[in-house]
Amino acid sequence: MTHSLRIAYRQSRALIACGLLALSLLCLGQPLAAQELGPLQQVLQQDADLIVKSSRTSIGPVIDRIVASGLPVVPAFLSAWQDKNIWQREADGLFFIATEGEGRSYALTDLDSGSEVGTAQKDALSQLKPNSGVRGLIATALVQFQLSDPIRANREAALTAIERRPAQELLAPLRASIASEPDAVLMARKLRLERLLTIGYGADPAERVAAITQMSTDLGVDVRAALNPLVSTSLKVATDLPVDVNVARRLVPGTDIDRLQAYDMLVAADLAPARRSSSDMKSLLAEHVEGGTVGGVALARLSNPEARIIAYAALVQEGKVPALVSDEDIDAALGAHVFFETYAEPSPEVTDAARAALQSIATRVDLNQALDLGLDAISLASIYFLAAIGLAITFGLMGVINMAHGEFIMMGAYTGYVVQQVIPNHTLSILVAIPLAFAVTFAAGVAMERLVIRHLYNRPLETLLATFGISIALQQLAKNIFGTQARPLTAPAWLDGALVMNDVVAISYIRIAIFVLALIFLGFFLFLMKRTRLGLETRAVTQNPRMAAAMGINPGRVNMLTFGLGSGIAGIAGVAIGLYAKVTSELGADYIVQSFMTVVVGGVGNIWGALLGATMIGTLQKGIEWLNPSNTLAAQTYMIIFIIIFIQFRPRGIIALKGRAAGD
């Protein structure tokens, strides 16, 4: 029994010792853990409450302290924080990167070492969810690290972030990253962005003036956005003109600023008593009614303005109401004060340079806007020329008023649409659609000439009515086949986008392609008419059909081929226009009037006249739209009126053609 007690006593002592050791280790565990915190974790723990309850107004200094620590793991932490991947362990308040695992378990990654340090249930963690404002501040802080990132995409993203959110604190890291930038394109962006930040945030006025001077020829919108705040002004008033502000100009009340508006500024600045309106006077009089009178004036007389003034003056003498402000008082108060505008920018050298730069930029913008307007006019003229070149053959050379010419354009556009349904490759489909559209509309033109037109030569009214009826029939046929909904004719991918010269001048690649196509057809038409047998016979029939027939030329065959050629060219024009406009059954009707005007104004039967006519009409329409951009219908109306007046002075167009088409 004694031996058993001894064994039990020894075991109990061992258990007590182990318990004391475990207790001591438990007590020492928390300080030990605190001593093992990484340097970034220590920085975060200093502002743990602000980080957890972050807001745009309070988190800025915290982010600055984190960045100022200079720790290499700061960029990774900021990126994870921005992406909402930072979690706080509620038991001890430590921050980790948490990755969701199986069930509700999350793997915890240490911020300093980047190694996994354990797991925790989701209920034991709290996710940091910064709002958009906080994420914006984090992104700004990340930029300075990304500017020198070895990955080009990260550096480019940093520059984009600076362009969206320029800030003074980004100027120094941006300058520091320029020398080591290996990419020429990013180097140019950095240099330009450095100049813009220097304009807004540079410490030395001389360097800001130098940056403004360097950017005075840049037409970028961001340059004007950086310069405009430097010349913005605010209206102020004082007893004397201050000497410590950048004064833009002095204002004279009654000349540069409304007299009463200037006095109200004095009242707002507590520099003069307020004026009393008629309603204010009535209210004050009503407050001092005594025994049926106010200021000794009976209430029945107060409907008279003069009586109200007398009553109010009596109350003033009694000291019950403030005195009225007379015109003399207003003039005296205005004469005793100075009204002036001050620049928001305190440096006069900077504002002078900014005003000069803005004036220089404005002049360049005007010139480039004129160039852009000219390019738009040339582009529109190319479209009109393409639409009218076939009509220049059928109407100009043959004298046939073909009101269905627009429908040949529409047929060409629909041909391109059908081809794209069969051939999904847009480049190949356009290459196939152009000759196919020519073939389809050439055949349609030949059929029309053989069935209708050849019976109506020298009968213009009947030709007009017949082709107008055909036009309506073709439109209805297109609606029955394709419906009334616009059909897409998609341009190849290499025609997407625009050629951007600067922030003012740009022209789409589709319009450039149409312009090139118009030049190609101009060359083709000149070659056809000057260097081929068909052209020679066409000119002979145009000048004198009887003499041409006597020389062995078949006028009927020439007319058929010529009409088919004009119709085929209209089909090709339809493919080109379909890439730019909506393909509907009314597509041709939108261009038939302009096509006839182009041919008539340029000179019937002359390709150079059609080119000049298209240029004139395109320029005129764009010019009128520029003067009255809100009303395109008015532009069309003014253009037609101008053309009517023009034809009165030059009824045979710019370049007149002698022969049958000219009426000889």
- Concatenating the DSSP letter of every residue in 309-372 gives HHHHHHHHHTTSSPPPPPHHHHHHHHHTSEEEEEESSS-HHHHHHHHHHHHHHHHHHHHHHHHH
For residue 210, the model assigns a pLDDT of 94
Which uninterrupted H or E stretch holds 88?
A: strand 86-89
pLDDT at 354: 94
Question: Could you identify the residue written with the tokens 């930040």?
Answer: 197
Q: 189: which residues sit within 8 A by CB, 6+ positions away? A: 159
Return the structure tokens found at 416.
Answer: 């391109």
Question: Residue 430 CA to chain centroid, in angstroms?
Answer: 30
The Cα–Cα gap between 230 and 200 comes to 8
Burial of 11 (0-12, 13-18, 19+ CB in 10 A): exposed
- DSSP per position, 168-190: GGGHHHHHHHHTT---HHHHHHH
Composition of the chain by helix, strand, coil, percent to 5: 65, 10, 25
Average pLDDT of each block of 10 consecutive residues along the chain (664 residues)?
46 46 39 63 90 86 87 88 90 90 85 88 89 84 83 89 84 89 93 93 92 91 91 91 88 90 89 80 81 81 81 82 82 91 91 94 91 89 85 75 89 94 91 94 93 85 89 93 88 86 86 88 85 84 80 86 89 89 86 82 77 87 78 71 79 63 45
Tell me the CA end-to-end span of the chain in Å, nearest whole number.
Answer: 150
Cα(578)–Cα(465) distance, integer angstroms? 27
The DSSP result for 185-217, as a single string, is HHHHHHHHHHHHHHHHH-SSHHHHHHHHHHTTT
Q: Please give the backbone phi and psi of residue 257, each rounded to the nearest 5 degrees, phi first.
A: -145, 145
**What is each CA distance from 278 to 86, 285, 288, 531, in whole angstroms?**
65, 11, 16, 90
For 488-645, strand residue ranges (E) read 498-500, 506-508
Q: Report d(CA 532, CA 530) in Å as an integer.
A: 6
- What is the rounded distance in angstroms from the CA atom of residue 538 to the CA atom of residue 555? 8
Q: What is the sign of the dihedral through the CA atoms of 163, 167, 173 and 176?
A: positive
- Contact at 8 Å (CB) between 149 and 158? yes
Helices (H), 36-98: 39-46, 48-52, 59-68, 74-82
CB atoms within 10 A of CB 527: 11
What residue type is assigned to position 310 of the chain?
I
Residue 301, burial from CB neighbour count under 10 angstroms (0-12, 13-18, 19+): middle
Which of the 8 DSSP states describes residue 251? E
Largest separation between any pair of C-alpha atoms in the chain? 154
Cα 640 to Cα 379, 432, 483, 619, 660, distances in angstroms = 20, 37, 32, 13, 26
Q: Quote the pLDDT of residue 407.
A: 92
Q: Is 334:259 a contact under the CB 8 Å cutoff?
A: yes
What residues pair up with 98 in beta bridges, in sequence order? 108
Q: Write out the two tokens for 16.
A: 């007590």
Q: Which residues contact 364 (CB under 8 A, 6 or more apart)?
A: 217, 219
Measured CA distances, 177 to 159, 185, 565 (Å): 11, 14, 64
Q: How far apart are CA 43 and CA 94, in angstroms?
A: 11
CA atoms within 13 A on the CB side of 517: 27
pTM over cut 0.85: no
Take residue 6 and report the two structure tokens written for it. 């001894």
Q: Characterize 561-579 residue by residue with b for buried, 16 or more Cβ atoms within 10 angstroms of its Cβ, and e for exposed.
A: bbbbbbbbbbbbbbbbbbb
Instruction: Give the Cα separation of 213 and 355 in Å (integer).
Output: 11
User: Where is 97: in which H helix or E strand?
Assistant: strand 95-100
CB atoms within 10 A of CB 46: 12
Q: Which of 403, 371, 405 is nearest to 388 (CA)?
A: 405
C-alpha 567/C-alpha 390 separation (Å) is 6
Q: For the chain, which residues make up each domain, given as ranges?
A: 147-231, 233-275+325-343, 279-320, 379-589
Number of residues in the chain: 664
pLDDT of residue 643: 78
Is-contact 558 528, C-beta < 8 A? no
